[in-house]
Amino acid sequence: MTVLIVDDEVDVLRCTSIILKSVGYEILAADGGDEALVLCESNVIDLMISDVAMPRMNGCALAACMNAKYPDVPILFMSGYPESKEIVAGLTARGFAHGYTYLQKPFRSEDLLQAIKMAFRSVGSKLAVTIH
């Protein structure tokens, strides 16, 4: 299973990648929305984990692009800003194909893995019961 992690903070990309690689996920990493969209064109993505607050293209704008092109890919948002949870909560009301899962930074490994399960459940994926 391939997970695309999008964050403008190198340390977050590195730590999240290490956690997910340790339980068997294939990882693609992007430092912003533009790079993430390029990776999606040449790879099959099973899940995207994205920071909400990023320069150039924020996580909500990236989610809008992903939803239009790849509506079945679940999206897990993460943010260090508590107010980001309300921003993400408004996405479904604006006509997105499915809900989104949110994880507050900093997080523990267990919290990340549980949020991934919730993200797959939000789109009704059968993968939700087989993931780590």
Is the model's pLDDT at 106 over the cut of 50? Answer: yes
Task: Give the span between the Cα atoms of 69 and 57, in whole angstroms.
Answer: 16
**pLDDT tens-place string over residues 45-93:** 999 999 998 999 988 899 889 988 998 899 999 988 877 777 666 665 4
**pLDDT tens-place string over residues 43-56:** 999 999 999 989 99
Predicted confidence band at 131 (pLDDT cuts at 50, 70, 90)?
Answer: very low
Q: Return the amino acid letter for 23.
A: V
Query: Which residues lie below 8 Å from residue 54, measured CB to CB, with a gap of 6+?
Result: 6, 7, 8, 32, 33, 62
Q: Is the pTM of this model over 0.75?
A: yes
Mean residue pLDDT of the chain comes to 85
Whether residue 6 contacts residue 49, with contact meaning beta carbons closer than 8 Å, is answered with yes
